[in-house]
Amino acid sequence: MTSANAATQAPRARVERAALELFTSRGFDAVTADEVADAAGISRRTFFRYYPTKADAVWGDFAAHVARLDALLRSAVPGAPVLGTVCTAYADVNDYGPADLPVLRQRMRLILTEPALQAHSQLRYAEIDRVVAEHVARSTGEDPSGLLPRLVAASTRAAATTAFAAWLADDRADLGVQLHRAFDELATGFPSLGD
Amino acid sequence: MTSANAATQAPRARVERAALELFTSRGFDAVTADEVADAAGISRRTFFRYYPTKADAVWGDFAAHVARLDALLRSAVPGAPVLGTVCTAYADVNDYGPADLPVLRQRMRLILTEPALQAHSQLRYAEIDRVVAEHVARSTGEDPSGLLPRLVAASTRAAATTAFAAWLADDRADLGVQLHRAFDELATGFPSLGD
DNA sequence: TTGCCCGCTGGCACTGGGTGCCACTAGGTT
DNA sequence: AACCTAGTGGCACCCAGTGCCAGCGGGCAA
């Protein structure tokens, strides 16, 4: 049983809220794990049982995120254009309700600006890349470790990350729109470059 | 004076050699900074004066690498296609002589496979992305922090990294060829996907 | 009810990366 | 000879992360 019941879910949510607040106000490096644990009302030891590293407290339940992306890609129409499918999956999996957007902004701002979190993100992205590369491999009949699947995975993820950054930089921007703009450029060989 | 004289350059080279050997044979995490320092004949304290982090010992003089890439991009033909310029610059800056290839493989294998180094690499890549985004901004008249420059920087760097991985996976592959293959796919909207 | 087991928690001690501080030394200056 | 400076090493410290063990509470069988 991996899903948490009420008794374990409440503390986790408290920890994540405390972590986001503390990291946002004082910076990731300046906040110790003890402080986050204290603010959440748990011990330091328990904190590191919830999250393997301090950085993971920022990411919430990322494994579920990856699993949803994987499910979306596996349920995609077989013959559909690959990049379109990947873009739609990225957009769907990041289609948060208005109530969740502030927290998402807070989370992404930390991940994209704090060096330690920026570094850590590479490890999370690798999980996404694996799922996308496997989808491309299924669609094209290639090996998931071949150049094309890896290239599509890495560059679409680069596009998604860039879209997130653009979304963050503009308070009124829509995340789905930014994602489509980035993917469109990518899929058509960057027509805006005007070569 | 940032350039090192003979008295400081020799120890640095010894440290990098020792680090590469130890990390390759026993794994990055299993080797302590003390062991690297001992193997190089310096103290732990001096090691951390040479390299701000243990991971940086793997990267050699990366600032010079970025500076060379920047110089190549700034000296590029003004009207030339942007992606082609970036690809050529990537290929030129990574055009090592046959004698240096074994060390390059060792270095890249570590960076691409060791999780801690994979995470750290994001911080180095950010420096590259900045330089590339500025080049795109100069070429198109946009703001370096806009969507297109950042997107081109992130996706070309993704292509380069993927090319490195493909090169690593095949002992007989040529790095320049892999780079061009990846960039060609990227520049033409991934024709191999067959959409 | 009693005794047992089990999952979660917290405390403790330890390793290792990274840093600030200070003392020492070697080489060059006046 | 007194002096400055750059590089080095030792030391103490902070903090992330981990293994180990003790305690605690809740279910469950006898």
HSE (CB half, 13 Å, CA atoms) of A78?
2
Q: Are residues A131 and A51 in the same domain?
A: no
A183 and A89 within one domain: yes
Residues B119 and B138 in one domain: yes
User: Is the pLDDT at B73 greater than 70, yes or no?
Assistant: yes
Distance in angstroms: CA A45, C1' C1: 35
Of A126, A125, A121, nearest to A145 by C-alpha is A126
Q: Tens digits of per-residue pLDDT, A84-130?
A: 999 999 999 999 999 999 999 999 999 999 999 999 999 999 999 99
Rounded Cα gap, residues B28 and A26, in angstroms: 31
A168 and A133 in one domain? yes
Which tokens in the block code for residue B117?
A: 């180094």
**What's the average model confidence in pLDDT over B141-146?**
96
Same domain, B52 and B120: no
Contact between A187 and A83 under an 8 Å Cβ cutoff? The reply is: yes
Model confidence at B63, pLDDT cuts 50, 70, 90, reads: very high
What does the angle CA A98 – CA A102 – CA A105 come to, to the nearest 5 degrees? 115
Q: How far is it, in rounded angstroms, from Cα B48 to Cα B30? A: 18
| Strand D protein footprint, C-beta under 7 A | A 31-34, 44-45, 48, 52-55; B 8, 11, 41-43, 45-46, 49
- Type of residue found at B145: S
Residues of chain A above pLDDT 70, percent:
95
Residues in Cβ contact with A47 at an 8 Å cutoff, skipping those fewer than 6 apart? A15, A33, A36, A37, A40, A57
Are residues A38 and A67 located together in one domain of the fold?
no
Specify the CATH number for the domain of residue B175: 1.10.357.10
| Contacts of B194 by beta carbon, 8 Å cutoff, 6+ apart | A140
What pLDDT, on a 0 to 100 scale, did the predictor assign at position A80? 94
In the block, residue with structure tokens 């100069």: B138
> Counting beta carbons within 10 angstroms of the beta carbon of residue A166, is it exposed (0 to 12), middle (13 to 18) or buried (19 or more)?
buried
- My answer on whether A45 and A104 are in the same domain is no
pLDDT of B51 strictly over 90: yes
The identity of residue B135, as a single letter, is H
On strand D, nucleotides with any atom < 7 Å from a protein CB are 7-11, 14-20
**Cβ–Cβ gap A190/B194 under 8 Å:** no
Which structural domain, as residue segments, surrounds residue B140? Answer: 61-189
Residue A136, exposed/middle/buried by CB under 10 A (0-12, 13-18, 19+)?
A: buried
Interatomic distance A16 CA / D21 C1' (Å): 28
Same domain flag for B31 and B118: no
Report the mean per-residue pLDDT for chain A. 94
Q: What's the mean per-residue pLDDT of chain B?
A: 94
- Provide the token pair at A141: 């009949």
Tokens of A153: 């995975």
Element (H, E) at B98: none
* β strands within B42-116, DSSP E: none
Q: Which of B84, B161, B195 sits opposite A83 (nearest CB)?
A: B195
**Chain B residues lying within 8 Å of A86, measured CB to CB:** none
* Mean per-residue pLDDT, A126-142: 97
- Alpha-carbon distance of A28 to A42, in angstroms, equals 19
pLDDT at B7: 39
Please tell me which of the candidates A84, A118, A150 has its beta carbon nearest to residue B162. Answer: A150
pLDDT score at A123: 98
Mean pLDDT over A186-195 rounds to 91
The rounded distance, in Å, linking the Cα atoms of A48 and A37 is: 9
Q: How far is CA A137 from its chain centroid?
A: 22
Find the CATH number of the domain harbouring B27: 1.10.10.60
Record the tokens describing residue A121, joined without a space.
């993100």
Whether residues B52 and B66 fall in one domain: no
How confident is the model at residue B33, as a pLDDT?
Answer: 98
B195 is a domain residue: no
pLDDT in tens, A17-61: 999 999 999 999 999 999 999 999 999 999 999 999 999 999 999
Output Rg (C-alpha) for chain A, integer angstroms.
18
DSSP for A87-138, please give it: HHHHHHHT---GGGHHHHHHHHHHHHH-HHHHHHHHHHHHHHHHHHHHHHHH
